Amino acid sequence: QKEVEQNSGPLSVPEGAIASLNCTYSDRGSQSFFWYRQYSGKSPELIMSIYSNGDKEDGRFTAQLNKASQYVSLLIRDSQPSDSATYLCAAFNYGGSQGNLIFGKGTKLSVKP
């Protein structure tokens, strides 16, 4: 069973701090990785995609990928209360006829003012 694992949290950080969200995946052949943010009662919203080893930065967000360790992370700098949400990690997995996007259960982040 191919899986994406996340700590469910809640992860609580003070406003202005760095929030670090982690994700591991079981399928070594996974090639594409995504982070989504989901506010309560809303649908997932894409934040970042990362396809190669290393760091990718976009504003206050940095995604990190380490394929050897099968590990993906998301750093949120200068965390704001509006960042409080559930963060979903997803990995594209080549199985079946076209492959599937497999999601973790999500990590709930709470940013305290």
Partner 1 sequence: ETGVTQTPRHLVMGMTNKKSLKCEQHLGHNAMYWYKQSAKKPLELMFVYNFKEQTENNSVPSRFSPECPNSSHLFLHLHTLQPEDSALYLCASSRTPNTEAFFGQGTRLTVV
Q: Supply the minimum distance, in Å, between the C-beta of residue 91 and partner 1.
A: 10
Interaction pattern, residues 44-63, with partner 1; x per rule: CB under 8 A: xxx--x--------------
CB 101 within 8 A of CB 92: yes
Query: Is 89:109 a contact under the CB 8 Å cutoff?
Result: no
Say whether residue 22 binds partner 1 (CB under 8 A). no
Task: Give the one residue of 1, 43, 52, 82 binding partner 1; rule: CB under 8 A.
Answer: 43
**Interacting residue with partner 1 among 73, 92, 109, 110 (CB under 8 A):** 92
Burial of 55 (0-12, 13-18, 19+ CB in 10 A): exposed
Dist. CA 93–CA 9, nearest whole Å: 25
C-alpha distances in angstroms, 68 versus 82, 104, 110, 113? 33, 19, 30, 37
Q: Kindly tell me which of 15 and 51 has the beta carbon lying closer to partner 1.
A: 51
Q: Which is nearer to partner 1, 64 or 106 (CB)?
A: 106
From the CB of 98, what's the least distance to partner 1, in Å? Answer: 4
| Residue whose token pair is 């497999």 | 102
Binding region for partner 1 (CB under 8 A) = 4, 31-32, 34, 36, 42-46, 49, 88, 92, 94, 96-106
